[in-house]
């Protein structure tokens, strides 16, 4: 029977496409490294030397923390633009509370995380209860935090004790301790998404909120938790920056442009802006690509204005390559009669309408939800 | 019989209907605007003088024009984050290419418009053909364009161009009774607003809104979605160009002119009740949102609120305004969503034909009562 | 439906109350932080340092020592330090960690520095200068300095710090390598560098400008202060000094942050003019001065007494309008000194530990001379750039190609 033949084909293809999709970012990263190594060699430096690797990994750590949190939020089809201010606020609270005394470190870290969780909670509540779009809600809370920072902090403040500065300064060989911590957080995040119920629910809520609600999921909870996790990881970034700078700074978050760059890294890593599909490791790959590109440009002493041009082009080109590949490989929705490919690719505001990595890390847990998502896509 | 009586509702009823429209999300922005203007006048009575007020309109003009452009993009379901960079680039182009030679004004102006259309075309094509999310494309364009502009000028423009060109933004028709001077900016704004209202009522304009509301249905109905979407980006870049021309006159040439305009535009549009994600909204409301935003800033100036608090107040108002629209609108729609879709407009029919004609006919959309604010809960 | 509306309104109301309260005390942060974070009034006093204020006040009156006509080699009240330990022959490699070139003042200085580099390369003192630009980010600059330490093979570190306290650990690490470290423009909180090059300072700027305005205005006059950003110490010091002097003289001064955006500046001035008369304008940096003056023109009122900066746009507009003004200077020629200091270090010569360069405002009498000397220069150029005797003058600065 024809149904038997058609059903025998699909099971193999989704699995292969899933592998391909999460490999794409890895391949892109390898490609960028190869090109970078060649370019760096032309100015007489070794790309793989300890100092250079250290520079790249250091560049990855802070943005990595922020991007991991941003992944959760974007998976739930929201955005968080308040992260730069949370980063700055965290660095200030940490430095002020520590005040140069190593005994204060645990209290300071705890306070910072609590404050960040509260901010994330506020963001989540505004988005879910007040029904405000994530873009606007976090833009608003970001501005409120900015007003607080501008009013109360006229410059750097506080003092970070030497013991805490070690986190930002030391490394295991060429790998900084901060990068190891960031990777550990990434592992935890990936595990959270794949294995826990709330993590799986994030994919569901991001993919199609109505369907998720009808399936019995409390749609508000994963979203609020996503926002809280995003603010907490931003706080971790702020702690790392406090450790590196030795003081807290009200401008350190905005200096790094962490809001837009983290969103770009997340999208580069394969997560859909409209939510429902994505992976932490893709995000880490995106962050790594940015770090490598920045490093190569600095070593080659590229004019700073041109650096921005290159960054902009890399962002668009990388995402374009990614989405083009995925759309090509989209499996037909209805084989035989009435295959409706064209409209789907238009839908969704230019995002990826289907196919793709799927709940790459959700793996075993949610075939049912994923299928439902694809039907609704 | 009933048809005859419904032709001329009583004056009281019309007033009540008008009042209800005013506090509905559609009209909320106008209410906000009136409240703000009254507050400013209370603090500073000279503001209400026609001469002063027309100067206020003059300085809002660039923001309002940019909001109108962003309206078309947002109602079509996308974002345009590159507007600020387009404004900066155009301002710098005007400064560098015109110099002190007034005869070059017209050719350079034409070049600027062509360049603006080109940028919009590039944005639109990458979004529609390469399927890259508009957030990413316009983010990349923002970085690349600004970097390229600064690289070309070495970071600082040569200086203000000839006075003749600057008159567009700075001068106007003098010796008019009552208001003393009618700035060119105001004239241009009114013209653009009228064109926008007319355009939104045309089939093409309605297709834009339809595309934002339900892309699948729109493309099924035969719209060439790629061209429609691309044209929205061209419109927004052109509006940024016009704003740039006005700003050359008003502010002079400087690389920081236009920074952050995209966020101001998006905020203005959202304040005007346009839903992020597309499909709903009135262009006049978007322009009114721009006025309300500027009125808010002016009010803060007059009230002597310290500079550092302004951002916090701005963030708070934004959240409040959008939450108001979202919660009340949703509350109304929830009750009727289960009834016929055509009758889903629980609000009273607009009493005036003039007011109604500018808005799109109620589109019998799918039951997305919960999914209106895409990217939110 | 009604319940939903009530719930929503209640939440909005609660949010409103919370945020209103947040304007005075932050509901998110618990009491321990309130205790350690200084209150708002203290913050403003924090930038004001009486000792530094007096020191810079005194330095304004001192005649600098050093070669005549070369202010970038002159110094004030210098305490010399012996550099013979660094003396060695041969061309040296310089590594420059630049905070950014994100404003016209820094761009002008960067161009001048590169021309100075050419001279030293021809003289065989410096072989090359590798530069890493931090684009205004503390974190990036720390990484840059670490990269130079690990990979740069540097003979001398030249650092223009992005901020004072945050860059201190990185500068100390650079010092620990044993190579000479030259810091200029903004300082750091360690004196391990061989020399710290800077003009007299922000307090001196504040004193010069405030005294000018006070002399030319009556008591009770209104001055609008246009400030670029909060938290930048070179700028905060200028305002701290000026504010104190305005207070003492009975001048009503109100300050705004503008972000150097001419649109903002125009709006602020227009609003102020709508509220009442504005007699004077004080700026902590000259960027955007033209927009401020034009606001007065648009409103049809008299020009204010104004202090800007030695940026060409302000000087030209000042001459055109004939207003009473002063152009304070944050000597742009300081960008020449670090490389020259490096040359002197490797020659084993004595140099000042804290190299205070002269800083004297351009008055109305001097203005014409500077305008003539810089006639073809772009508006973003700074009159006291000190590069008249460098190769490429005037073409390189006119074309303004960023190296």
Question: Among residues 246-275 of chain B, which lie with CB inside 8 Å of chain A?
Answer: 263, 266-267, 270
Average pLDDT (B310-326) is 84
Chain A and chain C share a number of CB contacts under 8 A equal to 136
User: Could you report the per-residue pLDDT of C29-50, keeping only the tens digit for each?
Assistant: 222 233 333 333 333 346 788 8
Contact across the interface for C135 and A298, Cβ inside 8 Å: no
Sorted by where each begins, the domain ranges of chain A are: 21-327, 338-377
Q: What is the pLDDT of residue B372?
A: 40
Provide, as residue numbers in chain B, all residues whose Cβ is less than 8 Å from the Cβ of A293: none
Non-local (6+) Cβ contacts of A153 within 8 A are: A92, A248, A250, C37, C43, C231
Residue C252 three-state SS: strand
**Structural domains of chain B, ranges and CATH numbers in brackets:** 24-330 (1.10.3470)
Residue A342 has pLDDT above 60, yes or no: no
Beta bridge partners of C225: C255, C282
| Chain C residue with Cα closest to A99 | C36
User: Which residue bears the tokens 């200084």?
Assistant: C38
Per-residue DSSP letter, C223: E
User: Which residue bears the tokens 């913050």?
Assistant: C43
Q: Are residues C180 and C228 in the same domain?
A: no
Task: Give partners of B (≥3 CB pairs < 8 A).
Answer: A, C
Structure tokens at A206: 């991001």
Contact between A55 and C146 under an 8 Å Cβ cutoff? The reply is yes
Query: Which of A93, A129, A151 is the closest to C33 by Cβ?
Result: A93
Contact across the interface for C380 and B151, Cβ inside 8 Å: no
Please name the helix (run of DSSP H) or strand (run of DSSP E) that holds residue B84, with its range, or none.
helix B83-98
Query: Which of A49, A58, A301 is the closest to C143 by Cβ?
Result: A58
Residue B247 has pLDDT above 70, yes or no: yes
Q: Are residues C78 and C187 in the same domain?
A: yes
Substitution target from A126, A132, A352, A354 for chain B, most B beta carbons within 10 A: A132
DSSP assignment string, A159-227: ---HHHHHHHH-EETTEEHHHHHHHHHHHHHHHHHHHSHHHHHHHHHHH-HHHHHHTT--THHHHHHHH
Q: What is the helix, strand, coil percentage profile of chain B, to 5? A: 70, 0, 25
Burial level of C13, CB count in 10 A (0-12/13-18/19+)? exposed
Output B310 or A345, whichever has higher pLDDT.
B310
Contact between B315 and A144 under an 8 Å Cβ cutoff? The reply is yes
Provide, as residue numbers in chain B, all residues whose Cβ is less than 8 Å from the Cβ of A315: 136, 139-140, 143
Query: Strands C354-357, C126-133: parallel, antiparallel or unpaired by DSSP?
Result: unpaired
Q: What is the pLDDT of residue C152?
A: 85
Residue B242 three-state SS: helix
Q: Cα–Cα distances in Å, from B123 out to A368, B43, B83, B118, C254?
A: 37, 44, 11, 9, 43
Q: Are residues C340 and C193 in the same domain?
A: yes
Provide, as residue numbers in chain A, all residues whose Cβ is less than 8 Å from the Cβ of B229: 350
Q: Cα–Cα distances in Å, from B2 out to B14, B350, C229?
A: 17, 18, 66
d(C-alpha C227, C-alpha A356), whole Å: 50
Contact across the interface for C135 and A49, Cβ inside 8 Å: no
d(C-alpha B198, C-alpha A303), whole Å: 46
Substitution target from C107, C380, C395, C397 for chain B, most B beta carbons within 10 A: C380
Q: Are residues C122 and C251 in the same domain?
A: no
Closest CA to C138 of C167, C159, C105, C109: C167
Output B363 or A272, whichever has higher pLDDT.
A272
d(C-alpha C1, C-alpha B62), whole Å: 40
Structure tokens at B197: 């209202």
Query: Strands C280-283, C222-227: parallel, antiparallel or unpaired by DSSP?
Result: parallel
> How far away is chain A from the Cα of C389, in angstroms, using its nearest Cα?
26
Beta bridge partners of C327: C362
Q: What is the pLDDT of residue A133?
A: 86
Structure tokens at A256: 């790094």
Non-local (6+) Cβ contacts of A157 within 8 A are: A92, A95, A96, A247, A248, C37
Residue B299 has pLDDT above 50, yes or no: yes
Q: Cα–Cα distances in Å, from C271 out to B140, C243, C256?
A: 36, 21, 12
Provide, as residue numbers in chain C, all residues whose Cβ is less than 8 Å from the Cβ of B301: 267-268, 271-272
Query: Strands C92-98, C156-159: parallel, antiparallel or unpaired by DSSP?
Result: parallel
Q: What is the pLDDT of residue A22?
A: 67
* The CATH number of the domain covering residues in A21-327: 1.10.3470
> How far away is chain C from the Cα of B44, in angstroms, using its nearest Cα?
7
Closest CA to C118 of C330, C397, C392: C392
Residue C301 has pLDDT above 50, yes or no: yes
Query: Which of C19, C28, C151 is the closest to A52 by Cβ?
Result: C151
User: In the predicted model, what is the mean pLDDT of chain A?
Assistant: 82
Please name the helix (run of DSSP H) or strand (run of DSSP E) that holds residue C196, with its range, or none.
strand C195-199
User: Could you report the per-residue pLDDT of C225-277, keeping only the tens digit for each?
Assistant: 999 887 777 888 899 999 999 999 999 999 888 888 888 899 889 888 888 88
Residue B72 has pLDDT above 50, yes or no: yes
Residue A66 has pLDDT above 50, yes or no: yes
Provide, as residue numbers in chain A, all residues whose Cβ is less than 8 Å from the Cβ of B219: 342-343, 346
Chain A and chain B share a number of CB contacts under 8 A equal to 212
Provide, as residue numbers in chain A, all residues whose Cβ is less than 8 Å from the Cβ of B136: 264, 267, 273, 315-316, 319
Provide, as residue numbers in chain B, all residues whose Cβ is less than 8 Å from the Cβ of C402: 151, 154-155
Query: Which of B297, B324, B330 is the closest to C12 by Cβ?
Result: B324
Instruction: Provide the 10 A C-beta neighbour count for residue C33.
Output: 19
Structure tokens at C391: 């190769």
d(C-alpha B14, C-alpha C242), whole Å: 59
Average pLDDT (A328-357) is 45
Beta bridge partners of C93: C128
Contact across the interface for C103 and B330, Cβ inside 8 Å: no
Q: Are residues C192 and C314 in the same domain?
A: no
d(C-alpha B255, C-alpha A194), whole Å: 47
Per-residue DSSP letter, A7: H
What's phi and psi for B142, nearest 5 deg?
A: -60, -50
Q: What is the pLDDT of residue A337?
A: 57
Is C237 within a domain?
yes
Contact across the interface for A241 and C139, Cβ inside 8 Å: yes
Provide, as residue numbers in chain C, all residues whose Cβ is less than 8 Å from the Cβ of A62: 139
Q: How many domains does chain C divide into?
A: 2
Structure tokens at C239: 């305002």
> How far away is chain C from the Cα of B154, in angstroms, using its nearest Cα?
5
Q: Are residues C387 and C275 in the same domain?
A: no
Contact across the interface for A79 and B375, Cβ inside 8 Å: yes
**pLDDT band (50, 70, 90) for residue B26:** low
> Is the Cα torsion angle C74, C79, C82, C83 positive or negative in sign?
negative
Structure tokens at A288: 């790594």
Substitution target from A155, A175, A311 for chain C, most C beta carbons within 10 A: A155
Contact across the interface for B216 and A275, Cβ inside 8 Å: no
Task: Give partners of C (≥3 CB pairs < 8 A).
Answer: A, B
> How far away is chain B from the Cα of C274, in angstroms, using its nearest Cα?
7
Q: CA triplet C258, B255, B270: central angle to 5 degrees?
A: 65
Highest mean pLDDT among B259-273, C184-198, C262-276: C184-198
> How far away is chain C from the Cα of B47, in angstroms, using its nearest Cα?
8
Q: Are residues C313 and C280 in the same domain?
A: yes
Q: Are residues C124 and C172 in the same domain?
A: yes
Closest CA to A100 of A149, A169, A165, A178: A165
Does C303 contact A at CB distance below 8 Å? no
Contact across the interface for B155 and C101, Cβ inside 8 Å: yes
* Helix and strand totals (H; E) in chain C: 15, 13
Q: What is the pLDDT of residue A335?
A: 61
User: Which residue bears the tokens 């971790």?
Assistant: A236
Average pLDDT (B213-218) is 85
d(C-alpha B202, C-alpha B224), whole Å: 16
Query: Which of A115, A155, A241 is the closest to C29 by Cβ?
Result: A115
Residue C359 has pLDDT above 80, yes or no: yes
Is C5 within a domain?
no
Query: Which of C11, C46, C135 is the closest to A154 by Cβ?
Result: C46
Q: Are residues C197 and C338 in the same domain?
A: yes
Residue A153 has pLDDT above 90, yes or no: no
**CA-atom Rg of chain C in angstroms:** 24
d(C-alpha A170, C-alpha B351), whole Å: 71
| Chain A residue with Cα closest to B267 | A136
Q: What is the pLDDT of residue A324?
A: 66
Helices A50-75 + A280-299 axis angle, to 10 = 140
Is C304 within a domain?
yes
Q: What is the pLDDT of residue B366?
A: 40
Query: Strands A175-176, A171-172: parallel, antiparallel or unpaired by DSSP?
Result: antiparallel
Contact across the interface for B140 and A316, Cβ inside 8 Å: yes
What's phi and psi for C39, nearest 5 deg?
A: -70, 165
d(C-alpha A33, C-alpha B182), whole Å: 59
Q: What is the pLDDT of residue C43?
A: 37
Q: Are residues C68 and C194 in the same domain?
A: yes
Please name the helix (run of DSSP H) or strand (run of DSSP E) that holds residue B227, with its range, or none.
helix B225-250
Q: What is the pLDDT of residue A325?
A: 60
Contact across the interface for A97 and C144, Cβ inside 8 Å: no
Q: What is the pLDDT of residue B321?
A: 82
Contact between C304 and C310 under an 8 Å Cβ cutoff? The reply is no
Residue C355 three-state SS: strand
Helices B50-75 + B184-201 axis angle, to 10 = 30
Return the CATH number at C310.
3.40.50.2300
**pLDDT band (50, 70, 90) for residue A345:** very low
Highest mean pLDDT among B233-242, B297-306, C297-306, C382-391: B233-242
> How far away is chain C from the Cα of B327, in angstroms, using its nearest Cα?
6
d(C-alpha A328, C-alpha A355), whole Å: 9
Contact across the interface for C19 and B257, Cβ inside 8 Å: no
Is C44 within a domain?
no
Residue B64 three-state SS: helix
Helices C233-249 + C202-216 axis angle, to 10 = 30
Contact between A322 and A27 under an 8 Å Cβ cutoff? The reply is no
Contact across the interface for B148 and A126, Cβ inside 8 Å: no
Does B195 contact A at CB distance below 8 Å? no
Task: Give partners of A (≥3 CB pairs < 8 A).
Answer: B, C
Residues spanned by the domain of C249: 202-326
Q: What is the pLDDT of residue A7?
A: 45
Non-local (6+) Cβ contacts of B130 within 8 A are: A320, A323, A324
Closest CA to C293 of A189, B251, B315, A2: B251
Q: What is the pLDDT of residue C19?
A: 40
User: Which residue bears the tokens 């300072």?
Assistant: C201
Substitution target from C6, C271, C308, C397 for chain B, most B beta carbons within 10 A: C271
Non-local (6+) Cβ contacts of B242 within 8 A are: B65, B188, B192
Is C7 within a domain?
no
> How far away is chain C from the Cα of B301, in angstroms, using its nearest Cα?
7
Residue B175 has pLDDT above 80, yes or no: no
Residue C119 has pLDDT above 80, yes or no: yes
The gap from C-alpha B90 to its chain's centroid, in whole angstroms, comes to: 19
User: In the predicted model, what is the mean pLDDT of chain B?
Assistant: 80
User: In the predicted model, what is the mean pLDDT of chain C?
Assistant: 84
d(C-alpha C287, C-alpha B1), whole Å: 71
Average pLDDT (A212-216) is 91
Provide, as residue numbers in chain B, all residues whose Cβ is less than 8 Å from the Cβ of A143: 311-312, 314-316, 318
Q: Are residues C271 and C247 in the same domain?
A: yes
Residue B39 has pLDDT above 80, yes or no: yes
Contact between B89 and B63 under an 8 Å Cβ cutoff? The reply is no
Output C322 or B347, whichever has higher pLDDT.
C322
**pLDDT band (50, 70, 90) for residue B137:** very high
Substitution target from A141, A142, A143, A262 for chain B, most B beta carbons within 10 A: A143
Beta bridge partners of C94: C129, C156
d(C-alpha C357, C-alpha C75), whole Å: 5
Average pLDDT (A22-35) is 86
d(C-alpha A11, C-alpha A13), whole Å: 6
Provide, as residue numbers in chain A, all residues whose Cβ is less than 8 Å from the Cβ of B371: 209-210
Contact between C286 and C230 under an 8 Å Cβ cutoff? The reply is no
> How far away is chain C from the Cα of B169, in angstroms, using its nearest Cα?
11
């Amino acid at each position: 029977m024809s149904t038997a033949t058609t059903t025998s084909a699909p099971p193999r293809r989704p699995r292969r496409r899933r592998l391909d999709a999460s490999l794409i970012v890895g391949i892109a990263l390898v490609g960028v490294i190869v090109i970078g190594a060649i370019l760096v060699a032309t100015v007489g430096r070794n790309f793989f030397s300890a100092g250079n690797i250290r520079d790249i990994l250091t560049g990855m750590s802070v943005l990595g923390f922020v991007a991991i949190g941003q992944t959760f939020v974007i998976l739930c089809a929201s955005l968080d633009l308040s992260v730069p201010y949370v980063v700055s606020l965290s660095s200030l609270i940490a430095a002020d509370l520590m005040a140069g005394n190593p005994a204060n470190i645990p209290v300071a870290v705890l306070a910072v995380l609590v404050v960040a969780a509260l901010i994330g909670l506020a963001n989540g509540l505004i988005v879910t209860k007040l029904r405000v779009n994530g873009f606007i809600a976090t833009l608003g809370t970001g501005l409120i935090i900015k007003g607080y920072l501008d009013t109360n902090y006229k410059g750097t403040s506080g003092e970070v004790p030497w013991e805490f500065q070690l986190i930002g300064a030391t490394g295991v060989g060429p790998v900084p301790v901060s990068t190891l911590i960031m990777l550990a957080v990434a592992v935890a995040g990936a595990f959270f998404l794949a294995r826990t119920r709330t993590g799986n629910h994030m994919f569901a809520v991001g993919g199609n909120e109505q369907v998720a609600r009808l399936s019995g999921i409390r749609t508000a909870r994963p979203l609020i938790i996503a926002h809280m996790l995003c603010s907490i990881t931003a706080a971790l970034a702020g702690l790392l920056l406090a450790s590196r700078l030795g003081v807290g700074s009200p401008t350190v978050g905005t200096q790094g442009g962490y809001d837009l760059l983290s969103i770009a890294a997340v999208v580069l890593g394969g997560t859909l802006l409209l939510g429902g599909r994505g992976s932490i490791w893709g995000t880490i790959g995106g962050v790594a690509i940015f770090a490598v590109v920045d490093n190569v440009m600095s070593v080659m002493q590229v004019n700073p204005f041109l650096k921005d041009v290159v960054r902009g082009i890399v962002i668009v080109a990388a995402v374009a390559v990614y989405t083009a590949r995925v759309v090509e490989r989209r499996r037909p929705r209805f084989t035989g009669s009435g295959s409706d490919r064209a409209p789907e690719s238009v839908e969704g505001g230019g995002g990826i309408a289907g196919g793709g990595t799927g709940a790459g890390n959700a793996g075993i847990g949610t075939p049912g939800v994923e299928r439902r998502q694809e039907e609704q896509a | 019989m009933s048809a005859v009586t419904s032709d001329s509702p009583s004056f009281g009823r019309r007033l009540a209907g008008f009042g209800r429209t005013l506090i509905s999300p559609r009209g909320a922005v106008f209410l906000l605007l009136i409240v703000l203007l009254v507050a400013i006048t209370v603090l500073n009575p000279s503001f209400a003088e026609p001469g002063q007020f027309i100067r206020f309109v003059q300085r809002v003009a660039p923001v309002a024009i940019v909001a109108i452009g962003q309206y078309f993009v947002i109602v079509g379901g996308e974002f345009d984050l590159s507007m600020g960079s387009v404004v900066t680039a155009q301002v710098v182009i005007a400064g560098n290419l015109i110099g002190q030679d007034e005869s070059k004004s017209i050719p350079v102006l034409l070049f600027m418009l062509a360049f603006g259309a080109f940028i919009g075309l590039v944005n639109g094509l990458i979004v529609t053909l390469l399927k890259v999310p508009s957030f990413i494309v316009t983010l990349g364009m923002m970085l690349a364009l600004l970097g390229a502009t600064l690289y070309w000028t070495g970071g600082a423009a040569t200086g203000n161009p000839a006075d003749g060109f600057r008159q567009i933004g700075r001068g106007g028709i003098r010796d008019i009774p009552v208001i003393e001077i009618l700035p060119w900016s105001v004239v241009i704004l009114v013209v653009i607003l009228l064109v926008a209202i007319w355009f939104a009522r045309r089939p093409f304009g309605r297709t834009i809104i339809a595309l934002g509301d339900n892309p699948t249905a729109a493309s099924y109905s035969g719209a060439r979605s790629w061209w429609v979407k691309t044209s929205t980006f061209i419109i927004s870049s052109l509006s940024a160009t016009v704003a740039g021309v006005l700003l050359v006159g008003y502010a002079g040439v400087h690389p920081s002119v236009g920074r952050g305009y995209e966020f101001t535009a998006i905020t203005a549009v959202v304040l005007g009740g346009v839903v992020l994600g597309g499909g709903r909204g009135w262009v006049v409301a978007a322009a009114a949102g721009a006025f309300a935003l500027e009125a808010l800033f002016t009010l803060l100036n007059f009230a002597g609120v310290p500079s550092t608090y302004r951002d916090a107040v701005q963030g708070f108002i934004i959240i409040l305004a959008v939450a108001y629209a979202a919660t009340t609108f949703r509350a109304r729609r929830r009750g009727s969503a289960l009834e016929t879709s055509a009758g889903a407009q629980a609000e009273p029919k607009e009493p005036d034909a003039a007011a109604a004609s500018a808005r799109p006919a109620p589109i019998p959309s799918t039951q997305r009562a919960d999914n209106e604010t895409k990217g939110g809960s | 439906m009604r319940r939903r509306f009530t719930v929503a309104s209640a939440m909005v109301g609660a949010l409103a109350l919370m945020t209103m309260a947040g304007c005075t005390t932050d509901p998110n942060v618990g009491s321990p932080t309130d205790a350690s974070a200084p209150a708002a009034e203290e913050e403003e006093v924090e930038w004001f340092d009486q000792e530094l204020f007096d020191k810079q006040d005194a330095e304004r009156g001192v005649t600098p020592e050093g070669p005549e006509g070369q202010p970038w080699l002159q110094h004030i009240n210098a305490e010399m330090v012996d550099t013979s330990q660094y003396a060695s022959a041969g061309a040296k490699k310089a590594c420059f960690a630049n905070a950014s070139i994100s404003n016209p003042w820094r761009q002008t200085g960067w161009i001048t520095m590169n021309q100075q580099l050419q001279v030293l390369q021809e003289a065989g003192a410096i072989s090359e200068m590798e530069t890493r630009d931090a684009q205004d980010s503390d974190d990036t600059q720390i990484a840059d300095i670490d990269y130079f330490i690990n990979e740069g093979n540097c003979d001398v570190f030249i650092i223009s710090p992005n901020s004072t306290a945050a860059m201190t650990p990185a500068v100390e690490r650079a010092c620990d390598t044993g190579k000479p470290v030259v810091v200029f423009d903004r300082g750091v909180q360690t004196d391990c560098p061989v020399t710290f090059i800077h003009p007299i300072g922000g307090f001196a700027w504040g004193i010069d400008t405030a005294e000018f305005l006070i002399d030319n205005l009556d008591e009770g006059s209104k001055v609008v202060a246009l400030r670029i950003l909060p938290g930048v110490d070179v700028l905060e010091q200028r305002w701290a000094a000026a504010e104190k002097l305005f207070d003492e003289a009975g001048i009503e001064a109100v300050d705004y942050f503008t972000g150097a955006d001419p649109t903002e500046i125009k709006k602020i001035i227009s609003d102020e003019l709508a509220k009442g008369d504005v007699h004077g304008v004080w700026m902590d940096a000259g960027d955007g001065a033209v927009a401020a003056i034009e606001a007065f023109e648009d409103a049809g009122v008299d020009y204010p007494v104004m202090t800007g900066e030695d940026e060409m746009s302000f000087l030209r507009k000042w001459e055109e309008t004939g207003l009473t003004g002063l152009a304070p200077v944050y000597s742009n020629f300081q960008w020449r000194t670090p490389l020259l200091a490096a040359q002197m270090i490797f020659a084993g010569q004595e140099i000042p530990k804290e190299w205070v360069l002269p800083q004297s405002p351009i008055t109305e009498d001097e203005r014409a001379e500077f305008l003539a000397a810089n006639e073809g220069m772009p508006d973003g150029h700074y009159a006291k750039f000190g590069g008249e005797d460098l190769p490429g003058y005037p073409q390189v600065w006119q074309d303004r190609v960023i190296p």
